[in-house]
Amino acid sequence: MDLCSAYPAARETFEEADDVLGFPLSRLCFAGPESDLTLTHNAQPAILIHSIAVLRCLADRVADAGWAAGHSLGEFTAYVAAGAIDFAAAVALVRRRGELMLQSGDARAGTMAAVLGLEDEAAERACRQAAAETGGDCVAANYNAPGQLVISGDTAAVDRALELAREAGARRAVRLNVSGAFHSPLMKPAETGLAGHLESVPFRDPAFPVVSNVTAEPVRDAGRARALLRQQLTAPVRWTAVVRSLIGQGARTFLELGPGNVLTGLLRRIDRGVEGRAIGSAAEVAAVSE
């Protein structure tokens, strides 16, 4: 990765994570194979590590950040950024989170799907009707942006909800390539398993508020942070509401740290009046630093 070649802080971040995990995840990140890296118990710590590596490279530039938030897994990064949890503890925690989510998916197969171009209420009705007709679970999982919703649950129920969404006028309604029904009742065993691990990790009050996926409200104390990170596994990610909450608190510049620029794209769909910037590569770090 060019980031590690250009910035010692990034390289040290990956090395620290390898020590915590007891195996060279960095090698998997840099050399693959991609099929192994994308397994959720590898992908989750990899994304966290990359995000914190970028954060450390930009330490001077983001020292005065007033708020933080993260989409699903990214909320752990937000709490590390706010000083609520140590990086090493977070790496081990999200690795275990990924393992538990994979186990839940293996125990009760499910899926997720994207519904585009439909009002949230109409998509929610499709989920409720599909669940009633099939006897399975189907719920809204990610409120990503206006007209962009992800649903999750038992495969038959999700497939029926997709049919209903298309009938209701969805522009697109397609299954996603995932290993489980995340942010749905099917993840209850993972939530139960993660609870004990969260209790064993020291948490501190965040140095600045972190807006929760579950409530879309600022979190300012350690106990609340721990409880909401547990609930997050089965609760929907209210990302549109999270972003609007931050804007309501005066946020006008959003930095997306880590791989990709998905959240920056969602930001444009939520509110074009604010600035978003994705930073993941050495060149992007250098541009911000200058």
Residues marked as catalytic: 72, 183
Integer Cα distance of 95 and 201 in angstroms: 14
Backbone φ, ψ for residue 3 (5° rounding): -60, -45
**Taking Cα atoms as reference points, which of 194, 199, 227 lies closest to residue 212?**
227
Place of tokens 């752990």: 76
Q: Which one-letter amino acid corresponds to residue 126?
A: A
37, 58, 76, 184 from 93: Cα distances, Å: 17, 24, 9, 20
* Residue 186 DSSP code: G
Integer Cα distance of 249 and 246 in angstroms: 5
| C-alpha dihedral, 52 to 55 to 57 to 63, nearest 10° | -140
Long-range CB contacts (within 8 A, 24+) of 17-24? 17/45, 17/49, 17/87, 17/88, 17/91, 20/88, 20/91, 20/92, 21/45, 21/91, 21/92, 21/95
The first and second tokens of residue 138, run together, are 């189907």
Sequence length of the chain is 290
Integer Cα distance of 229 and 56 in angstroms: 23
